[in-house]
Amino acid sequence: MKFRKLEIILVVFVLVLAFSCVNVSAADVKLTWSSISVPGDAHTEAMNVFKEEVESLSAGHITVDLFIAGAIYTQEGELAAVREGTLDMAYYGANWLAEFIPYMSMFGAVYTFSGYEHMNKVMNGEIGKRVFEEVAQTIGVRPLGAFYLGTRELNVVEKVGPVRTPEDMKGVKLRTPASPAWIALGKALGGNPTPMSFGEVYMGLKTGAVEGQDNPLPTDKNAKFYEVTKYIILTDHVVNAVLPTINEKKWQSLSDIDKLIIRKAIEKARKFCAETNLKAEAELLDFFREKGLIIIEDPDKEAFAAYAKNSYATESIDISKDWDMELYAEIQALK
């Protein structure tokens, strides 16, 4: 009921701004949003959807400055900047949040989610609301939703050869972001985790500094990893979400109307991102084949899942020991 009342107030607010001569410049809001994502990525384009919707709904009362492709921050830098409040917004992932709330790593762990619908039901439902509130209170940044980045697949150079089991990944220098939860994911896939910033991955693959990476297919295309790799292995090991996140002090400084405008714009951007990535994933395998890549469509997913379960329970026990297993069971019940 409260949300419905706010929507009615929002309509009135927009009409007042659009058709009156009231000077509201003193209360204007500017948001800055940085991302390391590249042009063409659905979550990059979703930022533009958000900007256009916010500025339209608020009749220019709220404006958004966007910075992409690591133009002003590295991935590590932008995440720190949102916590500090020198940047308003950035995309966080569960594995980054796990550095502060350890159980969060299970949201980015291998085979937690069975597919897009399962992830969306969890992360953009009641569980997500509870978790996001805890993140805001604990870390000082507030996730506003979960955007579907895609389903992560293994992608390796020609030297590695075809991969069908986790044993085929033994010794493979697998790029991971530089956080403990991401490193644990690399181990869970059977690889030798090699931390590297996203912006360095293309050259890392080209020079042999790393021999593989894992990302959703749209990211593989837009970052042109197909130019420097030979195999894509359809492990479907992580249903990946990125969380558009705002500095909590900035959020609390906003009026209820401003918050509602931002949430409505985020939801429009979320739907755009999901629809774009789901469509792309259905079409991209032919693109990669045309570029000369070999698609391994039949990896032993049961073997990967069993290996991952053992890896989290043994060599990455420092990560999994902090998982909230009651919450994990609640997540699995929503499949």
Amino acid 38: pLDDT? 87
* C-alpha to C-alpha distance for 295 and 293, rounded to whole angstroms: 6
Lowest mean per-residue pLDDT among 5-9, 183-187, 291-295, 322-326: 5-9
Amino acid 12: pLDDT? 54
Domains and CATH numbers, the chain: 2-148+241-279 (3.40.190.170), 151-239+283-320 (3.40.190.170)
Report the SS3 class of residue 143: strand
Q: Which residues pair with 294 in a beta bridge?
A: 231
Q: How confident is the model at residue 25 (pLDDT cuts 50, 70, 90)?
A: very low
* C-alpha to C-alpha distance for 224 and 181, rounded to whole angstroms: 26
Place of tokens 């053992």: 310
Best CA proximity match to 44, nearest among 280, 235, 209 = 280
pTM of the model: 0.84
DSSP H or E segment with residue 328: helix 325-332
Instruction: Please name the residues in contact with 303: beta carbons below 8 A apart, sequence gap of 6 or more.
Output: 165, 166
* Distance, C-alpha 14 to centroid of its chain: 31
In the chain, the amino acid numbered 330 is E
* C-alpha to C-alpha distance for 191 and 166, rounded to whole angstroms: 8
DSSP H or E segment with residue 111: none
Amino acid 23: pLDDT? 39
Amino acid 27: pLDDT? 84
Amino acid 26: pLDDT? 46
Q: How confident is the model at residue 77 (pLDDT cuts 50, 70, 90)?
A: very high
Q: What is the CA radius of gyration of the chain?
A: 21
Give the pairing type, strands 173-176 and 192-195.
parallel
Instruction: Please name the residues in contact with 185: beta carbons below 8 A apart, sequence gap of 6 or more.
Output: 95, 108, 109, 110, 176, 193, 214, 238
